Copies of this chain bind each other. A is one copy, B any other.
Amino acid sequence: MAGFKIPGITVYRLALYARTLEKLLEEGKDIISSEELARECGVNSAQLRKDLSYFGQFGVRGVGYSIPALLRHIRRILGAGREWFMVLMGAGHLGQALLKYEFLPKRGFKFVAAFDIDEEKIGRVVNDVYVYHLNQLSWVLREHPAEIGVIATPAKAAQEVADLLIENNIKGILNFAPVRIKHPPNVIVEHSDLTILFDKLAFYLNRLD
């Protein structure tokens, strides 16, 4: 495969290309030019070609890209095709929505357990996933190993929960709580803060005059 320093934003766009190629494949298209795929993704065509060039040559000059082949390549680059086991921290509204999101298991992302501290939620089963008390994390993880922890707790609890995940050897964290998680460099943390998105939209709407 390829070189070393892959911009994070390139990885982001690869996933975006994959999503778009999936759509085009469903629509029965077979060949596409960088120009057209880029337009579909809202990026510049040179950018798309450059992103791909980090990983190899997947097109045919004068012709374009085979949609199924390119999708296969991108999936391989992203490490799709394997399964990822995850634990959910916080079985509130957002957490339960994630448990029910069909897209995730289809792409190999599977929740093996959920955790909360609200007695009312503990013992429930949401979409086949059992909700345990937080203090059972260690043994549940021994029983059902997982690589990814998804944090959907209130902001106040997020850091503590992250520390617990890291202690229990979780290597990747996806944090939906509106705080920044502090973590050692060998743990990968992705943040998704909905509140920031709303604020950003509001800012630009205000500027619209």
Contacts and interface: CB of A to CB of B under 8 A. Distances in A.
Interface of A: 8, 11-12, 14-16, 18-20, 23, 40-42, 77-80, 84, 93-94, 96-98, 100-101, 103-104, 107, 109, 147-148, 155, 171-172, 174, 178-180, 182, 186, 188, 190, 192-206, 208
| Interface SS, A side | helix
Given A107-B198, A180-B20, A171 B94 contact: no
Q: How many copies does the complex hold?
A: 2
A104 B192 CA distance: 15
A199 to B, nearest CB: 4
A42 B201 CA distance: 22
A192 B194 contact: yes
A202 B155 contact: no
A4 to B, nearest CB: 10
19 contacts: A8-B200, A12-B200, A15-B193, A15-B199, A16-B180, A16-B193, A19-B179, A19-B195, A20-B179, A79-B206, A84-B198, A84-B205, A103-B178, A103-B195, A171-B208, A172-B202, A172-B204, A172-B205, A190-B200
